[in-house]
Chain A
Amino acid sequence: MSDLLTLSATEALKKLHSKEVSSVELTQAHLARIEARKHLNTYLTVNTEGALKAAQTADSAIANGEIAPLTGLPLGIKDLFCTTGIRTTAASRFLDNFVPAYESTVTQNLWNAGAVNLGKLNMDEFAMGGSGENSGYGPARNPWDDSRVPGGSSSGSAAAVADYQCYAATGSDTGGSIRQPASFTGLVGIKPTYGRCSRWGMVAFASSLDQAGMLTRTVEDAALLMEVIAGHDPKDSTSSPQAVPAWKESLGKLSLKGLRIGLPQEYFIEGLNPTIRSMIENAARQFEGEGAIVKPISLPHTQYAPAAYYIVAPAEAASNLARYDGIRYGVRKEGKNLIETYQNSRTAGFGAEVKRRIMIGNYALSSGYYDAYYTKAMQTRTLIAQDFDKAFEQVDVIFAPTAPTAAYKIGTNSADPIAMYLGDAFTIPTSLAGLPGISVNAGTIEEDGTRLPVGLQIIGPRWNEQVILQVAHAWEQLAGLTQPPFQK
């Protein structure tokens, strides 16, 4: 059975569409794996019946020669994407019983392409967190070492893909929530340019930053799946009308000779694990060996990015989460009047980090502090975006560590919000600037006798997902890295 599970999505599709294997077989193999690996707490809802039904439909379609790009492929979905008739919680107890009456555009695109929904994946509540520990349903665990976090907020997505509980999973990235868990679990995680994917039907956290993406085991799979989920959607005015390039087709067609790679000095600082530092520098050197030009660059406002982010994101979150009133859906705890009913419902339904961010956001938006915090943070955001614009006049891509550390033990940072916030320091600037970024495994380091993966982050200019996918693919070939271990 593990032979089927360890295929890449691309390989599985080849076998499916040549009728070597059926979608029902693949779906059953994954459902059995999910059941056997429950202790990792990856899925919040397993879509057993729905998945088997969709797999049967896919098998009939294949038998009739009606083959779409993903027909029969079993996938996992971050529980942030609304799925019609399937409970969607965003890992919040507030939404414990919420069953959407509509489908997110990203997931609809996957089903239209023939994919099978295995179920909904654990995450930090409302995507607020970098470890998965803020889930209302307990933390997902890292398959490399189950005493460690898989990163977050797409914690269940990363753990499930790395543990062979699905071929790939959707994620969402507001400040690093796809790239950082990909780094912690040895996967490929891509956040496209802001506006590349529709946000319709994604539970909103910070609307000017939220962007859907994918977690996969190979770059080829990432390119394939991104082509399916990306594209304009009339239901999201921030989604771009421009055509989605043939990313998968473009892989292997980039000449590394003369490729200009920038290493931003502000990312190679104290606080970055020195072994991780040398791994990223080594990766750049390997490209240099292939004819690429590596040059130091400066992104001078990098150090201000986390502070700006932790104003902008909570401010937007405070506004977005005002909809949870206990009247139309979700938890309801009666009070003596309407306001107290709101307060009681929200106090009962939200976890500590969500409450903290709502409070910070409302503080930053309140009349006396608006200019000092919110306006200032948005001005800082301009400076950060301009840093990247200038850098991309000199280089084609930027190499950086994805995260300052490898996966840490559950509980390490959970009592210290600021330590947790700094874990996103290398992914936040890209998010604030709306640029595409990908994390690809750079190798492993050893901590307490455990081998742990570390991510190389590749950042590209706006709308150029193609170049980061091509460079990530070239890195896969150069490094010849193995997949996450298959734990029995």
Chain B
Amino acid sequence: MSLETKDIEKLATLSRLKFTPEQIPAFAAEFENILQFVGQIQSLDTAGVPPLTTTANIESSPERPDTPIIPADPIARRTQLMSNAPAQEMGFFVVPKIVE
């Protein structure tokens, strides 16, 4: 299998990443090596084998009540949570304009 520049670019966009044109050839070569490495499992016969998504016993897990937890001081809590935002205004996150 051979990955083209446009394949890497598309995957990067889907991954919300960017690679410069100079980075792409080396990245593509490395990526193909990794795909070949993980592709070893293709030779394994897995017909009829169920997939294992988790080893947790989620069926036996107790549920907690579905009720909101109201902080004692909601405004202070909001300020604390917002304090990590790179850009904020009046308690809201600032984002680039998304409607014309």
Contacts and interface: CB of A to CB of B under 8 A. Distances in A.
Interface string A341-374: 1111011001000011011101110100000110
Contacts, number: 173
Interface residues of A, number: 74
Interface residues of B, number: 51
A364 B14 CA distance: 12
Contact of B30 (A195, A347, A417, A462): A417
Contacts of A360: 31, 34-35, 38
A431 to B, nearest CB: 9
Interface of B: 8, 11-18, 27, 30-31, 33-35, 37-42, 44, 46, 49-58, 60-64, 77, 80-81, 83-87, 93, 95-98
Interface stretch (A107-115, A148-156, A304-312, A446-454): A304-312
A234 interface: yes
Contact of B53 (A98, A208, A433): A208
Given A331-B86, A417-B30, A382 B41 contact: no
Given A241-B60, A318-B15, A328-B84, A372 B42 contact: yes
A163 to B, nearest CB: 32
23 contacts: A99-B83, A101-B84, A194-B54, A195-B56, A234-B64, A238-B58, A238-B61, A240-B60, A240-B61, A304-B40, A304-B41, A308-B41, A318-B15, A322-B16, A337-B96, A343-B13, A343-B16, A359-B12, A360-B38, A381-B52, A382-B49, A385-B52, A417-B30
B49 A379 contact: yes
A380 interface: yes
B51 A375 contact: yes
Nearest to B85: A328
Interface in A302-331: 303-304, 306-308, 310-311, 318, 322, 325-331
B81 to A, nearest CB: 5
A119 B76 CA distance: 26
A334 B14 CA distance: 18
B33 A418 contact: yes
Contacts of B81: 101
A76 to B, nearest CB: 24
A408 interface: no
Contacts of B39: 307
A279 interface: no
A343 B77 CA distance: 29
A362 B15 contact: yes
Q: Is the interface of A mostly helix, strand, loop or mixed?
A: helix
B9 to A, nearest CB: 11
Given A237-B56, A346-B15, 6 more contacts: A308-B41, A327-B85, A332-B87, A355-B17, A417-B34, A433-B55
A310 B44 CA distance: 16
A356 B53 CA distance: 22
A339 to B, nearest CB: 7
Contacts of A417: 30, 33-34
Closest CB pairs A-B (n = 4)? A434-B55, A378-B51, A332-B86, A329-B84
B46 A341 contact: no
B57 to A, nearest CB: 7
A327 B51 CA distance: 35
A48 interface: no
B61 A350 contact: no
A8 to B, nearest CB: 32
Contact of B15 (A97, A358, A433): A358
Nearest to A333: B86
